[in-house]
Structure 1
Amino acid sequence: MFKELLTDVTLILVFLFVLHLVLESKAICAASTIWRRMQVGIVNGAYGLILMQFAVRITDTLIMDLRHIVIVLAARYGGVPGALTASLIIAAGRLTMFPFSTTAVISSSNVLLSGLLCAWLSTRKWPSWQRLVAMHATSMGSVTIIFIYLVDPQVLPLLLTCFWIISVLAGLMAQWYSSMLTEKKEMANKLAQSEAFNRAILDNVPEAIIIHADGHIVYCNPFGARLMGAVSSRKMLGEPILQFIHPDDHPLVLERIRQITQERKHAEAMEERLVRLDGTVIDVEVTGISIEYNGQSASLVVVKDITSRKRQARMLAEAHERTSNILESIADAFFSVDRHWRFTYVNREAERVLGRSKEMLIGCVIWDEFPRVMHTKFHDAYQEAMQHDRSVSVQTYFEPLDEWFEVRAFPSKEGLSVYFHNITDRKQAELELKQLNEELQRYSYLDGLTGLANRRAFDLKLLREWEKGAEEGTPLSLLLLDIDYFKLYNDTYGHEAGDRCLKQVAEKLTELVVGTDRMISRYGGEEFAIVLPGAALMPAMRQAERIRAGVESMGIPHSGSSVSGVVTVSIGVASTRPGAEGDMKSLLIDADRALYRCKERRNCASGGTE
């Protein structure tokens, strides 16, 4: 009896192994089709038929085997369809493979009952081991009931003891072996999934991934193949790794490979040159680590193409060099500061003007190095340009250096660019030009001989005072003065003496006519005009008489004069209120008429009414 049952146990274990091989290509899960689950039931049912061939005969019509374990396995791997299919096949085999009898019908019915119970139990949301225990217990219980009903009570205890011991052992062994095979399969599946996942990651990383062992490439992702100019990753496999390294970099790369594979060191990012399949050389950045690949020590390297970055860096460096050359060649001093007011560049001219070398200034804060600039127009201009993000131009005097500077500040994202140059010479020239223009302007209104105002200045003065008097309602007086017999003076003493006489008279007039608002001008030849703002006729007459007496008192000899032996003057006086009566031309006419009347007597002053 034990021999046959142990044979069944062995067959069950062999069956489990075969079943796992059959199911290995496609595991059964909740999403599997009913047909797929029924196939599991068919396989288990067929194996149940085999087990019945090695059954223990209890009587002519009663046999004992471990077919119930096959039904449990069918329920475990095939669920309801598997359990029902297996139980139907085994029940049919029990009726057809052995003589038909009541015992055969009862046994077949018991198989169907076990299949139904196991199918129901397989749907329970219990832990896996609980479902298995319940299915084993249910199947063994149903068989036990059949034995109690059909077997002789005298041999029943021994029979049940053997059956339970072998069934429990077989169930435990089947469970252990099945779990072991399942765990192994799951580990293999997980490993395969992990490898597939890792390969999918490596294949889709947007950087070149290359694995090499013993000097040859064993893996290359598609990005790496494209980087090296290969048609596909497969074309890279087996190629010597040094074939793609620039010859000048071979020693360095070999040392890095040794450190990675032998010393297990992580290779930090380093720039190298690779040679593509078409022979072109590219700049790359390479990092590497040591790994195990297919059971052998290998190096995994990540290759980043930096050709474009290196080219841009070279172009940027060249641009910086060109900019630096330009800034060093310009006549202006130039410096730049960052957003924290730290010097970032200083050209040679700026070094000269600032009195510091670029090495001393770069990285230093401008306000710390040049505190005297604080609260000056330089400081205000720099702050305005930086804060308001607009260019600022200013010309200012820097007292500590006693010099003028023109400054232009241009903001940028990086900070501030400042151009400045010394304009002291230009400012001095502008000042001298201004003074010269003022001098020329003054001379244009002065009489070159006497230094008094000329006719042009007189006309402007008279017009201004007329307008002022009209606005304020104040009087305005005019004196026209003529040196008596001046032509005879020139004829007698000469023109040089005549010029001296004119100067002396002009000086006396300047002495006698007091007031900043009054003007003495040379009206023409030996004639002078005096504008007296705010003076009425009588004060103007008194002023005229003082002038007449003053000139005569000078005692300048004049032998040609018929009224005196010295130089004398005749003065015509006119006075009016601008705007109230007449016009400015009328004032001139009245003064001229008064002078004409005065010339009839000479050496006198004559005036008109207001």
Structure 2
Amino acid sequence: MKTELSYQELKEKLQHLEQKARTADILSNQIFEERQFLKILIDTIPSPIFHKDREGIYRHCNEAFSKDILGLCKNQILDKSLFDLPDKIPRKLAQLYREKDLELFESPGTQVYKSTVKCSDGKERIYQFYKSTILNEAGKPVGLVGIMLDITHLEKKNADLESLSYLDALTGVFNRRKFDAAFPELLKQDRPAGTLLNVAIIDIDHFKTFNDTHGHPAGDEALKCVALTIQQNLVKTDGSVFRIGGEEFCILYLTSSESIALQLTEKIRGDIATQPASSAISNSQLTISAGLLSIRGRLIDVKQIHREADRLMYQAKRSGRNKVVHKTV
């Protein structure tokens, strides 16, 4: 039985081993380069990225996460959980993030949510979290990877757009859409004992005639003037004014008594009646008629309240205009 390899066989085997060694070196270099590429790529990405195991221990993170979010070096974060960093993350907040992680492990896949984060520079920013589970060969979650996108400016723009959608373009006061959204919520709120919620519907008298006589630009200026006068009188009440129709406004404000409620609306009526409606037109005074409803109890029927205040306003019109008709319910 042949036990020794011939010279040629030894040579071929040696060449085969050398080829395997070269292949292994090439693969090892490729793996090293790929790891370096991934490390550089992850650290270059400006968004915070992190990798946790199932126990909540950080296994990897990039510079944006370590420096911008926690203000630490990586070696101060890796092999630790948020509970191990009480100087950076309050325990209550760490528990909230842990609960979100556990939700993801219980339902493997992806998880997306928004959260306000206090960053290492002391500023609070809004981040969108995108997290996904890491599965082992058996398909069981063994960790998660997450990326955080700073959406602070986007949220601010959205808030600004939302705010604009609630403003009347001409006068700058709240519009009917805001009134329809805010009024029902205001009615549901608890008020201090003895406090009255006052609803006044204000309509400019003979406004069509004013427009026909002086033109629509003057009419627009008059609407702005009326809105400004109302706002100036509401400053100390923390009340709100809404343009709910062409020349119709509604004001909501709280007072401690009926007399104070009436005094405020009367003050608005008097101020409008004694000042020019347009700075470019002499003798351009306007007047208003107002229906003021003071609500003492827990009346929450929006339509009923609006209907009653509207009825009072038309009563003021019928009784000669430039008046306030008041009722308490």
TM-score (norm: length of structure 2): 0.63
Aligned equivalent of 2:28: 320
Matched residue of 1:450: which SS? coil
Larger gyration radius, structure 1 or structure 2: 1
Q: 1:502 to 1:373 in 2, by over 3 A?
A: closer
Deviations 1:113-135 (A, max 9, x none): xxxxxxxxxxxxxxxxxxxxxxx
Where in structure 1 do 4 or more consecutive aligned residues deviate above 6 Å? 371-375, 385-388, 470-473
Residues 374 and 607 of structure 1, relative CA distance in 2, 3 Å threshold: closer
Conservation of the 8 A alpha-carbon contact between 1:536 and 1:575 = no
C-alpha distance in structure 2 between counterparts of 1:516 and 1:330, whole Å: 60
Higher fraction of helix: 1
The unaligned stretches of length 5 or more in structure 2 are 46-65, 85-100, 102-116, 122-126, 132-144
Q: Secondary structure at the match of 2:162?
A: helix
- Quote the residue 2:80 is aligned against: 384
Separation in 1, partners of 2:251, 2:244: 9
- 2:296 aligned residue (577, 583, 604): 577
User: Alignment partner of 2:244: what SS?
Assistant: strand
Cα deviation code 1:231-280 (max 9, x no counterpart): xxxxxxxxxxxx73xxxxxxxxxxxxxxxxxxxxxxxxxxxxxx427x63
Which amino acid in 2 is paired with 1:276? E
Alpha-carbon distance in structure 1 between the residues aligned to 2:233 and 2:289: 16
- Give the Å deviation of 1:593: 1.0
- Paired with 1:282 and 1:373, the residues of 2 have a C-alpha distance of 54
Aligned residues: 259
Change (3 A) 1:500 1:557: closer
2:310 aligned with 1:592, yes or no?
yes
Q: Does 1:509 align with 2:230?
A: yes
The TM-score with structure 1 as length reference comes to 0.36
| Structure 1: distance between partners of 2:32 and 2:70 | 31
Identity of matched residues, %: 26
Change (3 A) 1:535 1:524: farther
Q: Which amino acid is the alignment partner of residue 281 of structure 1? A: K
Amino acid at match of 2:268: I
Decide whether the 8 Å contact of 2:242 with 2:250 is kept in 1.
Answer: yes
Q: Distance in 2 between matches of 1:573 and 1:530?
A: 9
Query: Structure 1 442/322 Cα, relative in aligned 2: closer, same or farther at 3 Å?
Result: same
1:276 aligns with 2:9: yes
- Contact between 2:188 and 2:300, CA under 8 Å: does it hold in 1? no
Report the Cα distance in structure 1 between the residues aligned to 2:154 and 2:161, rounded to whole angstroms. Answer: 10
Give the whole-Å Cα distance in 1 for the aligned partners of 2:40 and 2:68.
19
Q: Give the Å deviation of 1:504.
A: 1.0
- CA–CA separation in structure 2 for the residues paired with 1:331 and 1:317: 21
Amino acid of the structure 1 residue aligned with 2:71:
T
Q: Distance in 1 between matches of 2:324 and 2:311?
A: 12
- Larger relative contact order (C-alpha < 8 A, sep ≥ 6)? 2
Q: Distance in 1 between matches of 2:35 and 2:79?
A: 23
Q: What is the CA-CA distance between 1:518 and the residue it aligns to?
A: 1.2
Query: What SS does structure 1 have at the residue aligned with 2:328?
Result: coil
| Corresponding position of 1:603 | 322
For the aligned residues, what is the CA RMSD? Answer: 4.5
Structure 1 residue runs without a partner (length 5+): 1-221, 230-242, 245-274, 284-305, 336-348, 351-370, 400-404, 409-418, 559-563
2:263 to 542, 553, 565: 542
Superposed, 1:148-187 pairs within 5 Å as none
What CA distance in whole angstroms lies between the structure 1 residues aligned with 2:120 and 2:260?
Answer: 54
